Structure 1
Amino acid sequence: MDHIYKMKIQPILNTMKNKLPSLNYLFVFLLLAAFGIDGCKDDPSGPEVTDPDEAPEVSVDRFSDSAGTLFRRSSNPTLPGPDEPINFDQGPFITQGYGPAGEIVEYYNFDVLSTQPAPIFVLFREGEDQPVDGQLNIINVLPGEEGYNDFWHVHKVTVPSGYTANTVTSMADIQQRGFEIEETDMLVNCPVVPEGSTANKRFTGEEEPGLIRGWYKEQVVYYFSFEEKALSPGGDGSVPTSPIYVTFNINPDEEGGGPPSGFMTEQDSDQTHNVAATIPTDDDYSPLWFVNIYDNADFDMVSDLTSAQNTDILAEGAAIVNCPIVSVMP
């Protein structure tokens, strides 16, 4: 405020000082000091709305060595480059397997993840029970950064009743403004991907298969949303898991074995004998899977959960992977 006074207000007052009665002079001084010479309040740090259509977009790389585990460009140069669109509707990103009762299921493969979700911030105006219309949700980590997860713990942010959408575009801005933040009991599965990426399958027809925009440190970020089952964090705040039983063309204890060799499939088919212990209609379903590897010598005997559990298990809990089921057929 002091620099505004020196640059704009004081010269005007000096000119008017000898022309106005003292009372009017005092009135003008107070008026200018309070509102500025253009009649608007002086608030150089005041709210500015950012148009997402004109904001810079963040670069995303899911296949760097820091972001990927099963899918790394350093070991598979055919994977899309940094910030290049990814087609998840083709191999190796989509798999056909079995459900617990022998159902045919399809699921996406979004790589290895932690059970510790990251926060996502959803803004609500004071006194309202729906998110601010038009406001993009806010995240603070990207694939490859410490603490990133496709699974997000929803945090409700309460903003003033007169708040304008997209005035706030970062977690730092939320904290600086001192808005109230409340942890909810909701988890969402929203993998962050490069713009233009596609994953068109969903378990229900009510789910939106397209990309959703959000804010990351004042930049626009893109992510999918999988809503086949409502998820809540466990008592320790972690993402719940569910078992899956898988087998590979080469067993993991052999040279070149495990994931690099690919899932074993039926001849001339994409059908694996991987078995998910739960599907989205089950109460204990989770798309974050606890991977158990069985001997590929038992491949032919596996057709459901019971038969998978009766195989020779070579490794329990070999990985924890994000694999949302997107179709189930009897």
Structure 2
Amino acid sequence: MNKLNTLWPRLASLLILAGLLLATPALGALAQGTNYELTQGWYEGRQTFYYDFGANTPATADGTQATTAPIYVLITGLDSAGNPQMVEGQHNIVGVVPGEAGYSDLWEVVLVTVPADYQADTLKSVDDVMSSGYEMAMPGLLVNCPIVPAGSTLAEGGAPLVQGWHDGEAIYYFDFGPNPRETAPISAFITGLDDQGHPLFVEGKGTAVGRRHGDPGYSDCWYVNLVTVPAGYQA
């Protein structure tokens, strides 16, 4: 079941992280499902683990916030408590996928109110949504949902693989639930840069984070700080 349907309006306490370290190829280059393994890092001298989905999410100029892309969620209205009534069987709709300008793993929910007799998955693209004339509202909910190839899995679980729509084609994403716009710092250790300006990471040295789930200021969106250490540094 889609967490967008079940976690409204409270914030989820996530069990795993979504790092922003290594570039990920465009979705079209990932024709087959990927099994995402945990990446080991450090938190206050202890090992911690997270999933790394790559640097798909641009940050603001000062690095303090992640940029977002809209995800369209169809509802028939609100209940007496103000909770959206999702259209059963409807898959959420996005306008960008990895590799396209404007893509982000962090999505801002746009609620689209459709008639009570609306048939699920009649709308399958942003163009469909925009031409429908249906009322839209942005409730201020951001969700961490990295798009991945169909059939992808998480080595240790932690989030469901959910189908969505992009330009009438099925896409898939892991739904990690709500996440703030603010980023959290993560440190990666390097000995310098190569001739092309690429960081030379310290082999065997995990990244270091200062926050984990439940800590004030925690976020699944990490802003990378490169820490240069001497060439003889021992991991």
75, 80, 85: which one aligns with 2:33: 85
Per-residue deviation, 1:258 = 5.0
173, 186, 199: which one aligns with 1:223: 173
Cα–Cα, structure 1 residues 116 and 168, in superposed 2: closer, same or farther, change >3 Å?
same
> Identical aligned pairs, as a percentage?
34
Cα–Cα, structure 1 residues 180 and 273, in superposed 2: closer, same or farther, change >3 Å?
same
Larger fraction in strand: 2
TM superposition score normalised by structure 2: 0.75
The 1-side partners of 2:97 and 2:219 are apart by 22
Larger fraction in helix: 1
Larger Rg over CA atoms: 1
Q: Does 1:143 align with 2:89?
A: no
Per-residue deviation, 1:208 = 3.2
After superposition, what is the alpha-carbon deviation per residue over 1:19-73, rounded to whole angstroms, capped at 9, x for unaligned?
xxxxxxxxxxxxxxxxxxxxxxxxxxxxxxxxxxxxxxxxxxxxxxxxx963459
Number of the residue aligned with 2:219: 286
Number of the residue aligned with 1:70: 23
Number of the residue aligned with 2:183: 241
Per-residue deviation, 1:102 = 2.5
Contact 2:77 2:85 (C-alpha < 8 Å) held by counterparts = no
Contact 1:247 1:264 (C-alpha < 8 Å) held by counterparts = no
**1:221 aligned counterpart, secondary structure:** strand
Per-residue deviation, 1:262 = 4.3
After superposition, what is the alpha-carbon deviation per residue over 1:270-316, rounded to whole angstroms, capped at 9, x for unaligned?
xx34211211111211111111122333955x9xxxxxxxxxxxxxx
Runs of 4+ in 1 over 4 A off after TM superposition: 254-259
The 2-side partners of 1:127 and 1:242 are apart by 33
Number of the residue aligned with 1:97: 41
After superposition, what is the alpha-carbon deviation per residue over 1:63-89, rounded to whole angstroms, capped at 9, x for unaligned?
xxxxx963459xxxxxx9542222221
Unaligned runs of 5+ in 1: 1-67, 74-79, 233-238, 266-271, 303-330
The 2-side partners of 1:97 and 1:284 are apart by 18
The 1-side partners of 2:46 and 2:214 are apart by 12
The 2-side partners of 1:273 and 1:252 are apart by 16
Q: Does 1:201 align with 2:156?
A: yes
Cα–Cα, structure 1 residues 299 and 107, in superposed 2: closer, same or farther, change >3 Å?
farther
**2:138 aligned counterpart, secondary structure:** strand
Aligned residue type for 2:203: M
Contact 1:153 1:186 (C-alpha < 8 Å) held by counterparts = yes
Q: Does 1:184 align with 2:105?
A: no
Cα–Cα, structure 1 residues 263 and 106, in superposed 2: closer, same or farther, change >3 Å?
farther
Contact 2:108 2:142 (C-alpha < 8 Å) held by counterparts = yes
Give 1:96-115 correspondences, 5 Å limit: 96-99=40-43, 101-112=44-55, 113-114=57-58, 115=66
173, 180, 192: which one aligns with 1:252: 192
